[in-house]
Amino acid sequence: MPDDIKESIDDILGNEVIKERLEDFFKALKNYKNIKDQLKNARLSPSLTVLLYGPPGTGKTSLTRAFSKQYQIPLCVVESDRLVSPLLGDTIKNIRNAVELSAEIAKQNDAFILFFDEIDAIGSERSNIHEVGEIKRAVISFLQVIDRVTYEGIPLAIFGATNHQGQLDSAIWRRFMFHLKFDFPDYKLRKLIIESFVTRIKDAKIGVDNSILKRLDEEFEFFNSLALDLKKKLGRDVSEFNENVFLKEIQKKSKDGLLKLTIGYSGSDIERGTNVALFKSISAELLTYEIFYNSLKLVGGTAIHVGTQDTLSGEKIEDDKRRNAKNGRSLPPEI
C-alpha cells in the first residue's frame, strides 16, 4: 500500500527526464476513471504499460514505488522468475492468475500497478534457440493478457523492469507504450549522491572529516575542466559513457578520487559503500576520506560485477546495436 512505501521521489536523485515521463503517466492513471468512458466512446484504448530498462541499482523499482506513494496508488511487485515453473502449463497459469487478480483489484480501487521485476524471465526472445517451449508459450500468454487489459479499459498499469533488454522478445517491446532507459550516474550526479550520503551521516551526529567534501569539489572541478576542453575540441558535450575519449582523458590525467573510483557505480553501489564506511566510522568515531574511499572500493561497481564494464566506453552499446540489427531487431528509441 502507498503508506507502506519508504521511498519518496526527492530521495532518488537524477533521472529528471524519466521523472517527467512518469509524472505524466501517473497523473493520467490517477484520472483514468474519469476519462475512461470518453475514451471508450471515441474508440480509444491507450495501453497503460511502461518498460524500464538499464543496469541494476539505477532506481527502476525505487522510483516506481516513490511515484506510487506520491499518487496513492497501490502497487504489487512480482519477481518474474518465480512465475516460471518446470511443470507444463503452470507458467502460463501463474502469469494469468497474477494479471487477473490485479485486474480485479484495479477495478475495485480505480487504479493499480502490477510491476514485473526482471521481466526477461517470462519475456525472452522466442527465436532464441536455447529457449524451451514453455517460455515461448509464456511470452504469447503475456502478450494476450496485456492486450485484454488494454482492450477492456481496465485501470491496471503494467510495469516491466529488466537489466537484460537485449534478451526481450521484440513483441514485448512493442506492447509497452513507454520505454524508459536508466543509466549509470555521470560524475555530476555521483557528486550529488555522495554529498547526500555524507550529509545523512552528519545528520546522524557522526563526525565527518571536512576533507571529504573539499577533495570531492576539487576532483569535480578537474572533471569539469576536462569536459569543457573536450567540448571545445569536438564541438559537442561529452559523457563518460558515450565518449571513449573522455573516459581515456579521465584515466590518464586525473588522480585517484571518489569520482574516478565510482565510474560504473550505481546509486545503490554508492549507498552500500557508504553503509560499509558508516560502520567503520562508528568505531573510529570519525568518517575520514580514506575510510570512505576504501569502503567504496571494497563494494565495487555494478559495471564490473555484471560484466558490463565495456558500456563505459560505448563498446557494448555498439555491439548490442550490431547484434540486434543482424537479427532484424532494434532497441526502442531512448528518451
Angle at 191 between CA 189 and CA 197, to 5 degrees: 105
CB 213 within 8 A of CB 198: yes
Taking the C-alpha atoms of residue 178 and residue 176, their distance in angstroms, rounded to an integer, is: 6
Q: Residue 133: how many CB atoms within 10 A of its CB?
A: 9
- Among positive and negative, which fits the CA dihedral 302, 304, 307, 308? positive
Taking the C-alpha atoms of residue 35 and residue 23, their distance in angstroms, rounded to an integer, is: 18
The residues facing 159 across adjacent strands are 50, 115
pLDDT for res 88: 63
Pairing between strand 178-181 and 49-53?
A: parallel
DSSP secondary structure, 52-114, as one string: EESSTTSSHHHHHHHHHHHTT--EEEEEGGGG--SSTTHHHHHHHHHHHHHHHHHHHHS-EEE
DSSP tag of 7: -
pLDDT for res 132: 53
For 2-182, which CATH superfamily applies?
P-loop containing nucleotide triphosphate hydrolases (3.40.50.300)
Reduced to 3 states, what is the DSSP secondary structure of residue 287? strand
Nearest to 282 by CA among 269, 270, 295: 295
Taking the C-alpha atoms of residue 285 and residue 270, their distance in angstroms, rounded to an integer, is: 21
pLDDT (tens place) for every residue of the chain, 335 residues total? 989 999 899 989 989 999 999 999 999 999 988 888 888 888 887 889 999 999 998 999 999 999 999 999 999 999 888 888 777 678 888 889 999 999 999 999 999 999 999 998 877 655 554 455 666 778 888 889 889 998 888 999 999 999 988 888 888 888 899 999 999 999 999 999 999 999 999 998 999 999 999 999 999 999 999 999 999 998 888 888 766 888 888 989 989 999 999 999 999 999 999 999 999 888 888 999 999 999 999 999 988 755 444 444 444 434 444 444 444 444 444 44
- pTM for the model: 0.81
pLDDT for res 124: 67
The residues facing 180 across adjacent strands are 52
The residues facing 53 across adjacent strands are 162, 181
DSSP secondary structure, 155-206, as one string: -EEEEEEES-GGGB-HHHHHH-SEEEE-----HHHHHHHHHHHHHHHHHTT-
Mark 81-117 as b/e (b = at least 16 C-beta within 10 Å). eebeeeeeeebbebbbebbeebbebbeeeebbbbbbb
pLDDT for res 309: 44
Q: How many angstroms from the chain centroid is the CA of residue 114?
A: 16
Taking the C-alpha atoms of residue 111 and residue 28, their distance in angstroms, rounded to an integer, is: 10
Burial class (CB in 10 A: 0-12, 13-18, 19+), 269: buried
Portions of the chain given CATH number 3.40.50.300: 2-182
CB 84 within 8 A of CB 91: yes
Question: Which cell numbers hold the place of 218?
Answer: 576539487
For the chain, how many residues are written? 335
Taking the C-alpha atoms of residue 141 and residue 138, their distance in angstroms, rounded to an integer, is: 5
CB 278 within 8 A of CB 198: no
